[in-house]
Amino acid sequence: MMNDLRTEKSLGLHTTPIPGVLIIDLPVHTDNRGWFKENWQRAKMLELGLPDFGPVQNNISFNDKAGTTRGIHAEPWDKFISVAAGTIFGAWVDLREGPGFGTVFTREIDPSMAIFVPAGVGNAYQTLEPKTIYTYLTNAHWSPRDTYTFLNLADTASAINWPIPLDQATLSENDRYHPHMDEVVPFPAATKNRRALVTGANGQLGRELGVQLPAAGYEFVGMDLPELDISDAVAMAEVDWSSYDLVINAAAWTDVNGAESPEGLPLSWRANAVGPANLAKAAVEHGFTLVHISSDYVFDGTKAPYSENDPPSPLGVYGQSKAAGDAAVTPVPRHYLVRTSWVIGGDKNFMRTMKAFADDGVNPTVVSDQIGRLTFAEDLASGIIHLVRSGAEFGTYNLSNTGDPITWYQVAASTFELCGHDPARVSAVTSAEYLADKQQAPRRPLNSTLDLSKIESTGFRAADLRQRMREYLAGL
């Protein structure tokens, strides 16, 4: 039954009647010793068009007899299926809610091909030769808390034409009694009922994510101190990480001056480096997607705009601890490291302070030689959700509002003007002059402008920062 492996195929990709189910041709190299193939090669598979699904587990099933039949199972994870020996008759049924529910696809699979099966598609196979070895990669671990969807192998609606009749095949007792199509509860749509945990949920970004994630179809769970300290390994071990599809780390120590003090230095490193390292470990073990928020302070401000590939060069403890956290997260297979700058949102931020000064008759002095772009929390949250939902390639992305870069002095003066006050009440000062009499105050990067071309190539473009400034102040 097996195709002649001496006829070597080229690496190729083919679609099927079920959206997301893909057939992959695998080159098999043969000689007098046997054969060899690259069963999974991430770089080549991504270039071919497969999603970067981040496998965390490899399973192998040895089937002693022809006619061994397993399925039809639809789990909440993706599978990359192949055969190491023998041949199978594979059957796939779309059990996801939507117009494709019930669509069937069948195909014989031998070692020269593989198949990618997205979450929610029912998967089954029957061995056509004895001693068949069936293998598959998955991007999540089985959990007793998850809900699984099953379909009976003998379902008349799907009408799968098994090569070896089921009454002559070898089946498990469980597989014999799965429900038929009219009893199957469809697998939820891609984001429906998925759970997202946000650490640092009481901060500017955390609160905005609490608004936008439920609207995007996620069940939102927010945690912050003292409920969860991500730098505490004991507390982290008590969290059921397997129940989350997405974890967004918005927790951080952001007191830049305080990080330089004897008391603040260890706290900054715990929150910004040890905490992300603990989350990275959990992400690898449990297979969830980890989004980590980075900062322009990982750079020294001497070269701008900064791209995602520029090496870190932090000037102070805060930037150094953030760079260490970035390094801990980067090896996670399913991660988005989102680097941002000058975040505005919530009840306490620079623009609110300037408005209060303007209204109270205070005439502030603000640095005029630090340049960058503001990032409004609503756009930062929207960009993060866009990356996750669009299936953008995992990795590092710069994210801020768009428009010409601006100085902190210009932000302050514009705030005064937009609130109906004289912008001349704001005085300009250099960073060196501002920090001259301040203790434990590190240098700030003079240019924090980030190159946004990478995230814009995924289809996301944040609003112009000056437009957002007007809207933000009008809403106060």
Asked if pLDDT for residue 458 goes beyond 80, the answer is yes
Residue 178 in this model has a pLDDT that exceeds 50:
yes
Does pTM top 0.75 for this prediction? Answer: no
196-217 average pLDDT score: 92
Over residues 361-389, mean pLDDT: 95
pLDDT in tens, 297-354: 999 999 989 999 999 999 999 999 999 999 999 999 999 999 999 999 987 899 999 9
pLDDT value, residue 192: 44
Flag whether pLDDT at 187 surpasses 90: no
User: What band does 190 get if pLDDT is binned at 50, 70 and 90?
Assistant: low
- For the chain, what percent of residues have pLDDT higher than 70? 95
The one-letter code for the residue type at 270 is: R
User: In Å, what is the CA distance from 54 to each residue of 299, 390, 421?
Assistant: 29, 15, 53
Going along the chain from its start, the domains and CATH numbers come out as 12-183 (2.60.120.10), 194-474 (3.40.50.720)
Q: What is the pLDDT of residue 287?
A: 87
Mean pLDDT of 173-188: 89
CB count in 10 Å sphere of residue 282: 20
Where residue 189 falls among pLDDT bands split at 50, 70, 90? low
User: Tens digit of pLDDT for each residue in 121-168?
Assistant: 999 999 999 999 999 999 877 665 556 789 999 999 999 999 999 999
Mean pLDDT over each residue of the chain, to the nearest integer: 91
Residues above pLDDT 90, as percent of the chain: 75
pLDDT tens string 31-73? 889 889 999 998 899 889 898 887 888 999 999 999 999 999 9
Burial of 384 (0-12, 13-18, 19+ CB in 10 A): buried
Examine the pLDDT at 364 and tell me if it is beyond 80.
yes
Number of other residues whose CB lies within 10 A of the CB of residue 393 = 13
Supply the pLDDT for residue 355.
Answer: 96
Q: What SS3 state is found at 382?
A: helix
Which pLDDT tens digit goes with each residue over 271-295?
999 999 999 999 998 889 999 999 9
Question: Given this model, what pLDDT does residue 147 score?
Answer: 60
DSSP code for 423? G
Are 340 and 296 within 8 A, CB to CB? yes
Give catalytic residue positions. Answer: 73, 136
What per-residue confidence (pLDDT) applies to 435?
A: 80
For the cut 70, the answer to whether the pLDDT of residue 1 exceeds it is no
User: DSSP secondary structure string, 67-117?
Assistant: TBEEEEEE-SS-EEEEEEES-EEEEEEE-BSSTTTT-EEEEEE-TTEEEEE
| pLDDT number for residue 410 | 97
Whether the pLDDT of residue 108 is over 50: the answer is: yes
**Cβ neighbours around 80 below 10 Å, total:** 22
